Structure 1
Amino acid sequence: MTPKVAVVYHSRRGTMRALAESAAEGARAYGAQVRLLRVPDDRAITAWPDPEAAPEDALWADGLVLASPTYFGTPSSPFKRFLESTSPLWSQGLLADRIVTGLTASTCLHGGRETTLLALYQSVYHWGAWALGADPR
């Protein structure tokens, strides 16, 4: 069975898209079927050509890579809106047992990246999903 991975990102300037694209390439290299999906943002400088993420993409995927910039130590508000849009699926227990990991970046050295990842994982814990951390190698 071919694993299905949804790489969902929010990017205003391109950093998170580049990270998400690398994650998608890595998953494809291991044989996964991948959807690279953007979270919409009406303030974005560039409109990325990738399809828009929908809650059903989380339902489709066996695993997800969630990529959000860090703003004030939390995921961006567009990304939080995407997570909140999964509530109907969560309330039916449909998002349990997925594998999820997170990516983030910030422009300042102590921007709160670790708290952003914890906030992403807090949402997926509510889903009943498994948070996968970084490989320590």
Structure 2
Amino acid sequence: MTDILILYYSRFGHTAAMANLIARGVEEVPGAVAKLRTVPDVSPVCAATADSIPGSGPPYATLEDLQNCDGLALGSPTHFGNMAAPLKHFLDSTSGLWFSGALSGKPGGVFTATSSMHGGQELTLMTMMVPLLHHGMLLVGIPSREAALGQTQTGGTPYGPSRLTGGHPTISDEEHQICRVFGKRLALAAAALKGSGID
């Protein structure tokens, strides 16, 4: 089996909808399994402890989820050209995995949603790649031959799936296709790299 961790934060459900489409793309690959995980909110005033089980949606991610995955899709809404604080807070806790090289040589990619066309989709994706590179991951994006990239009027980039949510309550056909293609591509890369000795 090839286990793909889809780790995301979503406040209003837009990033979560993308995560579910990416999971569908992952599971189009024989033997690939998508594991959806999220992270808890952080307190704006002090360190807070969230319940260990969220009220709804997927379970919270653990360091073991990261350690045991064969590939990673990391998703967040765009917050001023960067990932949301809850996801960054979780990634800041992964130093032990960095020291051990647990993610080194595994494929990883990123996805985002934003409410405005020029809200920083591409910059967010690029800043989200930085922790993956520090972990030694191999980046997976969307190839230019994917027709939906040339047709989209909302979201979608070569750096990873993106979605424009402002004024667009439903995901566009192109955004849908790009998410599915990304999930499938990530799973195929993970299957090819698994056991390859690349780290």
TM-score, structure 2 as length reference: 0.64
Q: Is the 8 A contact 2:112 2:124 kept in 1?
A: yes
**Aligned residue runs from structure 1 range 110-125, under 5 A:** 110-125=118-133
Q: Give the match for residue 22 of structure 2.
A: 23
> What's the offset of the Cα at 1:73?
0.6
1:121 counterpart letter in structure 2: M
Deviations 1:83-132 (A, max 9, x none): 11211111122210110011001111111111111111111100000011
Secondary structure in 2 matching 1:11: coil
**Aligned residue runs from structure 1 range 49-88, under 5 A:** 49-88=57-96
Root-mean-square deviation over aligned CA pairs: 1.6
Across the two proteins, how many residue pairs are aligned to each other? 134
Unaligned runs of 5+ in 2: 44-53, 147-199
Runs of 4+ with >4 A deviation: none
* In 2: Cα distance, 1:129 partner to 1:42 partner: 26
Larger radius of gyration: 2
Q: Among the aligned pairs, what percent are the same residue? A: 36
Unaligned runs of 5+ in 1: none
**Aligned residue runs from structure 1 range 32-47, under 5 A:** 32-41=32-41, 47=55
Q: Is the 8 A contact 1:55 1:82 kept in 2?
A: no
